[in-house]
């Protein structure tokens, strides 16, 4: 059974930065395209960023130029560097494979507030 563990969230002021990390049981991250998602209060979960197995990346428009997704195959982790954070980025952040093949983890809470 695959389990994702997200970490690195917290409370940050607008304009600040956070670095999220995702690990998984089993060597899942190194063999699949990986996505970061987020779910804000009262909203549906949305895809935020994705990275292919060969390192190509893409982002939703609202985070382009501010977020950077990367993967470390040796450590079997995927990270999301979030810069210039805005209150609208407040959400629980999750990782999963492309197509969300596996159960969701607990996520990590990101709160952007002054």
The single-letter DSSP state of residue 37 is: E
Express each pLDDT in 79-102 by its tens digit.
999 999 999 999 999 999 999 999
Q: What is the pLDDT of residue 80?
A: 98
Q: What is the pLDDT of residue 30?
A: 84
Q: What is the pLDDT of residue 113?
A: 97
Regarding predicted confidence, which is higher, 71 or 73? 71
Burial class (CB in 10 A: 0-12, 13-18, 19+), 33: middle
Q: What is the pLDDT of residue 48?
A: 98
Beta bridge partners of 11: 111
Express each pLDDT in 12-71 by its tens digit.
999 999 999 999 988 888 889 999 999 999 999 999 999 999 999 999 999 999 999 999
């Amino acid at each position: 059974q695959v389990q994702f563990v997200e970490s690195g969230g917290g409370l940050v002021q607008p304009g600040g930065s956070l670095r999220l990390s995702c690990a998984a049981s089993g060597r899942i991250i190194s063999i699949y395209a990986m996505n970061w998602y987020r779910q804000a209060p009262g909203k549906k979960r949305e895809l935020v960023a994705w990275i292919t197995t060969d390192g190509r990346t893409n982002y939703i428009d609202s985070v382009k130029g501010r977020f950077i997704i990367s993967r470390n195959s040796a450590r079997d982790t995927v990270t999301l560097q979030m810069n210039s954070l805005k209150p609208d980025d407040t959400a629980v952040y999750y990782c999963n494979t492309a197509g969300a093949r596996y159960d969701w983890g607990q996520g990590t809470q990101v709160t952007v507030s002054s």
